[in-house]
Amino acid sequence: MPESILVTGGRRLSGSVTVGGAKNSGLKLIAAALLAPGVTTIRNMPDIADVDTMSDVVAGLGARVHREAHTLVVDATELSSYEAPYEMVAKMRASIIVLGPLLARLGRARVAMPGGCNIGSRKIDLHLRGLAQLGVEITSGHGYIDAAAPAGMRGAHIILDFPSVGATENLLMAGSAASGTTVIENAAREPEIQDLIAFLNSMGARIEGAGTSTVTVEGVSEFHPTDHSVVGDRIEAGTFLVAGALAGGSVTVRGADPAHLELVLSKIAAAGVDVSTGPGEVTVRRDGPLRAVDLATLPYPGFPTDMQPQFMVLTSVAEGTSVITENVFESRFMFADELTRMGADVTIEGHRALVRGVSSLSGAPVKSPDLRGGAALVLAGLVAEGQTVVGDVHHILRGYEAFVPKLTALGADVTFIDPDA
């Protein structure tokens, strides 16, 4: 696996790029396929390392997974295990999403406590508290969570402290197999949650309120296999749009719904970039200078934390001072240290970053701290003087399919290198 990406800065970008299915939906749909005995087909599945990991997780539970191009087929006719072991969960935190489907299908789950992306303490207390309200008995020890509902789960009224994406998803799946009605208040509203609800309903679940913060789930006694296409990846799209905005020229991104990017697009426009949208596509064009823009991350429809590092790069070379407030993941500013090594002027105070625009960045060796931070460093390299070598790119490959070829097709000078070769 290549470990570094070499970026030579200074090229304008132009042309179009098509994004794949959303990582954050596709991963959950693979787990959700466990609900139904039989063969489920999931289309528009991105070809990324995290999808391979989730495929391994469900294969470890006895499902048979087969991929052909962007179609993933999950045969969950028979499950042979209810345990997601540490090796898997440590590799990818999102593995805890098997909790809900395993409880729904087998009444039992044993899942290692997650490690995961390096972006702050990521607790799972909301997942566990909600499951307990559904009647699940939970014990933990030796790094594992054991969850069991021998007499079945029963519907409950759950109010989440915070609209957690993962907790909402686990509770949607568990609640779908509980007896009676479950109401989740303060539920997450992300497009990926809406996609999961559509998927579950097509399997026989009865969920209402997708896209709102109160979701009502009528429990059902069985699920059937389905055929579904993953929603387009708004974060991958946003990343290429910021690349276009940074590097000047004109870039069209296809494959994601512009409605899912509303706030991101308004911030790109506020930064002095011309933004136009059509069905399933967005074009950014910039001739003038970039301007400072303030933003604060919040659960959807707020500004996505997964776009925060890319915007820090954008504002680092804009005229004026921008304030970026991170409300979702407390340590997501670690990436700023790397950007500072490229000449950015960023001061962090608690969960706020003050970004004073500089006239240019300078190429440097840097390391991807995590998935989005890594992608953002490659974007920084696009506008830096000279060469930037971004290390630890396995983080980027977890979530971006063909990142280097797609940037190259837009005219960027980007290539994989093996520093040890």
Instruction: Tell me, residue by residue from 242 to 281, as one string, x for binding to ligand UD1 by CB under 6 A and - for no binding.
Output: ----------------------------------------
Closer to ligand UD1 by Cβ: residue 64 or 123: 123
In three-state secondary structure terms, 368 is coil
Is 379 or 384 the residue whose CB approaches ligand UD1 more closely? Answer: 379
27 binds ligand UD1 (CB under 6 A): yes
Q: Which is nearer to ligand UD1, 4 or 368 (CB)?
A: 368
DSSP result, 160-196: -SS--HHHHHHHHHHHHTSBSEEEEES----HHHHHH
List 81, 139, 151, 162, residue binding ligand UD1 (CB under 6 A)? 162
User: Of 13, 58, 117, 165, which one is the catalytic site residue?
Assistant: 117
Query: Is residue 306 near ligand UD1 by the rule CB under 6 A?
Result: yes
Phi, psi angles (nearest 5°) of residue 360: -160, 155
Rounded distance between C-alpha atoms, residue 33 and residue 209, angstroms: 21
Strand partners, 281: 254, 278
Chain Cα centroid distance, residue 81: 27
Q: What's the distance, CA 209 to chain centroid?
A: 22
Give min distance, CB of 99 to ligand UD1, in A: 11
Q: Binding residue for ligand UD1 (CB under 6 A) from 24, 186, 250, 388?
A: 24
177 binds ligand UD1 (CB under 6 A): no
Q: Which of 70, 91, 105, 127 binds ligand UD1 (CB under 6 A)?
A: 127
Residue for token digits 């915007």? 311
Which strands make up the sheet holding 345-349, listed edge to edge?
295-296, 321-325, 352-356, 345-349
Please report whether residue 414 would count as binding ligand UD1 according to CB under 6 A. no
Q: Which region among 98-106, 122-130, 259-267, 339-347 touches ligand UD1 (by CB under 6 A)?
A: 122-130
Residue 161 contacts by C-beta under 8 Å, 6 or more apart in sequence? Answer: 126, 186
Residues 6 or more apart in contact with residue 65 via CB below 8 angstroms: 30, 55, 58, 59, 72, 73, 74, 75
User: Where do we find the tokens 């020229």?
Assistant: 249
Residue 78 structure tokens: 């028979």
Q: Which of 194, 305, 308, 315 binds ligand UD1 (CB under 6 A)?
A: 305
**How near is the Cβ of 151 to ligand UD1 at its closest, in Å?**
25
Count other Cβ atoms within 10 Å, centred on residue 121: 7
| Contacts of ligand UD1 in 314-353 (CB under 6 A) | 328-329
- What is the closest distance, in whole angstroms, from the C-beta atom of residue 129 to ligand UD1 in the complex? 8
Residues 6+ apart with CB under 8 A from 167: 124, 126, 127, 130, 160, 188
Indicate whether 126 belongs to the interface with ligand UD1 (CB under 6 A). yes
Say whether residue 124 binds ligand UD1 (CB under 6 A).
yes
In the complex with ligand UD1, the residue whose CB is nearer, 94 or 241, is 94
**Would you state the structure tokens that stand for residue 256, as one six-digit string?**
């994601």
Contact stretch for ligand UD1 (CB under 6 A) within 135-143, 160-168, 199-207, 409-417: 160-168
* 51 near ligand UD1 (CB under 6 A): no
With contact defined as beta carbons under 8 Å apart, do 67 and 49 qualify? no
Q: By CB under 6 A, which span of 158-166, 285-293, 361-369, 382-390 interacts with ligand UD1? A: 158-166
If the CB atoms of residues 11 and 127 are measured against ligand UD1, the closer one turns out to be 127
Kindly give, in sequence order, each residue whose CB lies less than 8 Å from that of residue 349, ignoring residues fewer than 6 positions away: none
State which of positions 75-94 bind ligand UD1 (CB under 6 A): 94
Q: Measured between alpha carbons, how far is 13 from 413 in angstroms, rounded to an integer? A: 10
**Residue 111 vs 247, nearer CB to ligand UD1:** 111
**Count of residues of this chain found to bind ligand UD1 when the rule CB under 6 A is applied:** 19
Binding of ligand UD1 by 123 (CB under 6 A): yes
User: Sign of the CA dihedral 308, 242, 238, 275?
Assistant: positive
* Candidates 81-89, 149-157, 163-171, 193-201; binding stretch for ligand UD1 (CB under 6 A): 163-171
Among the residue ranges 74-82, 123-131, 273-281, 382-390, the one whose residues contact ligand UD1 (CB under 6 A): 123-131
Q: Taking the complex as a whole, how short is the minimal distance between the CB of residue 93 and ligand UD1, in angstroms?
A: 6
Q: Which of 364, 362, 344 is nearest to 354 (CA)?
A: 344
Q: Which DSSP symbol is given to 332?
A: T
Q: Assess 171 for contact with ligand UD1 (CB under 6 A).
A: no
142 is catalytic: no
Instruction: Give the closest residue to 407 by CA, choosing from 389, 384, 388, 382.
Output: 382
* Active site members: 117
Contact residues: ligand UD1, CB under 6 A: 24, 27, 94, 121-127, 162, 164-167, 305-306, 328-329
